[in-house]
């Protein structure tokens, strides 16, 4: 039998928590020098498997072989020492310390009298950064770096530990397309050096671009491992969700009515300038562009979270002056924010309290008291109708999966019966099944004669759902395109990167 030398073999791993089997006999085999995609919906067991691998907790049964040797009873520190490094989705650098201090934290090079050898630390860091072609000084503070650069620093840190296996958990969730390219370049270089990479992502295009082989998990079970060349998107989705998704983007044609919101020459200092567009009833209006192109700032300004420095907004033909989110809500707008954790969910509060917070005025009863029974019945209705998985409406929202949290946030706004629903990255970090449901919801919203303004970095999503697409670049509108059949991703990208600029009519 031809022996393949795997750098990592996880054999028949099970993990049980009280009352639940999170992993049921999962196998994962990684070859040296390969990029191995690990995919599955949220709750499929990817992170549990990676936590077992990282020594965060031990598996209930099954064996882990690293470099051909059985490894067990190890902690995270041991994992790093034998050559396993993980780059987490949520980076947590020590923000007000420098790059070099972050990389060498806890193992700073020393000189006489146990003092830290800053010079050596600087040079070693410089070497690492050069290797990754990262153009920053080792003594730059982390807080000055973009998320992409912070991630590169994390990779540098992994290399500094001489990692043989690097796990990347959703590494591109906050990166621009250009930064993603840079990341991929680095991944290829690591690969050439013989390092193995486990690449966890919800973005299937990336999986197909960068991975050599893919392992799929579903509901804690091992579904299979395939070479990329034997795989296409429908097959992969079917493996992940266990059923066919005929149409990922269930956008139905619906009647486009009169202009609902008209934005003229809207500007906000340096963030964006002279943005003009309108959105009609029944329309899904996509806003594409790179991170930093001013998209999020634009919708924040529309919603009163940010001051405008010029321009006007009219809704139903009447000029509105929106200075606070309160004003926006009164003008029948809603905003599902980009960052669920930063300004979306209120973690320690219940599903119910999270859902009703934008709509409290509706539940007023006599003596200024709060109408609990009405609120409760509204919440129950949404939990049922859009299938939010939660043991009860009193469950703290932080215990729900990302997709279910997002559904609660969308419900929060649907409860206010908005006419204009703005959704900033509505499906970021949620699994394929929940994505499809959110797309369907968007379709339902516009069918009721409302409109949706959707900011998204995922081009397939923008192209799959939008009626028209506005592309932004460097704070300006570079094009507003009809989403016809012959529109290509390349075309949008060329506008987004500023290679083409259309004169605005």
Q: Which positions touch another protein (CB under 8 A)?
A: 17-20, 43, 218-219, 242, 303, 305, 324-326, 328-329, 335, 337, 342-349, 353, 356-358, 360-361, 363-364, 368-370, 372, 389-391, 395, 398-401, 412
Nearer to another protein, 152 or 335 (CB): 335
Q: Give dist(CA 149, CA 138) in Å, integer.
A: 12
User: Least Å distance between CB 115 and another protein?
Assistant: 35
Which helix (H) or strand (E) segment is 152 a member of? helix 147-160
Buried b (16+ CB within 10 A) or exposed e, 306-331: bebeebebebeeeebebeebeebbeb
Nearer to another protein, 193 or 370 (CB): 370
User: Least Å distance between CB 402 and another protein?
Assistant: 13
User: Least Å distance between CB 154 and another protein?
Assistant: 23
For 379, other C-beta atoms within 10 Å of its C-beta total 23
Nearer to another protein, 354 or 483 (CB): 354
The contacts of residue 275 (CB under 8 Å, 6+ apart) are: 263, 265, 266, 267, 294, 298, 311, 472, 476, 477
User: Least Å distance between CB 372 and another protein?
Assistant: 7
Q: Give dist(CA 125, CA 120) in Å, integer.
A: 8
Strand segments, DSSP code E, in 51-164 are 61-66, 69-71, 84-87
User: Least Å distance between CB 332 and another protein?
Assistant: 12
User: Least Å distance between CB 192 and another protein?
Assistant: 40
Q: Give dist(CA 29, CA 62) in Å, integer.
A: 13
For 213, other C-beta atoms within 10 Å of its C-beta total 18
User: Among residues 248, 327, 250, 238, which one has the least CA distance to residue 284?
Assistant: 250
User: Least Å distance between CB 375 and another protein?
Assistant: 9
Nearer to another protein, 308 or 340 (CB): 340
User: Least Å distance between CB 237 and another protein?
Assistant: 16
Nearer to another protein, 412 or 473 (CB): 412
Quote the distance between the C-alpha of residue 260 and its chain's center: 30
Q: Give dist(CA 292, CA 137) in Å, integer.
A: 23
Nearer to another protein, 250 or 474 (CB): 250
Nearer to another protein, 424 or 467 (CB): 424
Nearer to another protein, 421 or 496 (CB): 421
User: Among residues 185, 187, 179, 118, which one has the least CA distance to residue 159?
Assistant: 187
Judge whether 261 and 432 are in contact, CB under 8 Å. no
């Amino acid at each position: 039998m031809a022996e393949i030398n795997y750098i990592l073999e996880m054999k028949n791993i099970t993990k049980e928590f009280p009352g639940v089997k999170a992993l049921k006999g999962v196998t994962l085999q990684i070859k040296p020098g390969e990029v191995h995609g690990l995919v599955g919906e949220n709750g499929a067991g990817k992170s549990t498997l990676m936590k077992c691998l990282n020594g965060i907790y031990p598996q209930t049964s099954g064996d882990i072989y690293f470099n051909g040797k059985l490894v067990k009873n190890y902690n995270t520190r041991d994992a790093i020492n034998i050559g396993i490094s993980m780059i987490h989705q949520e980076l947590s650098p020590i923000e007000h310390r420098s790059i070099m201090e972050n990389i060498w934290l806890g193992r700073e090079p020393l000189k006489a009298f146990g003092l830290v050898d800053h010079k050596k630390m600087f040079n070693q860091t410089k070497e690492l950064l050069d290797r990754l072609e990262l153009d920053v000084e080792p003594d730059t503070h982390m807080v000055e770096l973009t998320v992409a650069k912070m991630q590169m620093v994390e990779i540098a840190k992994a290399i500094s530990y001489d990692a043989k296996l690097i796990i990347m958990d959703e590494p591109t969730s906050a990166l621009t397309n250009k930064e993603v390219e840079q990341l991929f370049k680095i991944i290829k270089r690591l690969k050439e050096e013989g390092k193995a990479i486990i690449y966890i992502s919800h973005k299937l295009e990336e999986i197909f671009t960068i991975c050599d082989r893919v392992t799929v998990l579903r509901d804690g079970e091992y579904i299979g491992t395939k070479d990329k060349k034997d795989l296409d998107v429908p097959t992969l989705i079917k493996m992940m969700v266990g059923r066919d998704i005929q149409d990922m983007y269930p956008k139905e044609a619906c009647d486009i009515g009169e202009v609902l919101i008209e934005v003229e020459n809207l500007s906000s200092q340096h963030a964006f300038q002279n943005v003009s567009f309108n959105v009609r009833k029944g329309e899904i209006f996509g806003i594409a562009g790179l991170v930093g192109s001013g998209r999020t700032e634009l919708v924040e300004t529309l919603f009163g979270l940010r001051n405008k420095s010029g321009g006007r907004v009219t809704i139903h033909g009447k000029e509105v002056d929106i200075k606070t989110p309160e004003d926006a809500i009164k003008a029948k707008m809603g905003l599902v924010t980009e960052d669920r954790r930063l300004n979306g969910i209120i973690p320690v509060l219940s599903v119910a309290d999270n859902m009703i917070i934008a709509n409290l005025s509706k539940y007023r009863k006599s003596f200024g008291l709060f109408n609990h029974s009405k609120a409760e019945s509204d919440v129950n209705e949404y939990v049922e109708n859009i299938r939010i998985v939660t043991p009860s409406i009193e469950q703290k929202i932080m215990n729900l999966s990302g997709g279910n949290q997002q559904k609660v946030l969308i419900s929060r706004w649907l409860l206010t019966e908005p006419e204009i629903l703005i959704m900033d990255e509505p499906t970021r970090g949620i699994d394929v099944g929940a994505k499809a449901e959110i797309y369907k919801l968007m379709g339902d919203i516009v069918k009721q004669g409302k409109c949706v303004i959707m900011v998204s970095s995922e081009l397939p999503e923008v192209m799959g759902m939008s009626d028209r697409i506005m592309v932004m670049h460097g704070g300006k509108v570079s094009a507003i395109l009809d989403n016809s059949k012959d529109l290509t991703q390349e075309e949008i990208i060329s506008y987004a990167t500023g290679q083409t600029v259309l004169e605005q009519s």
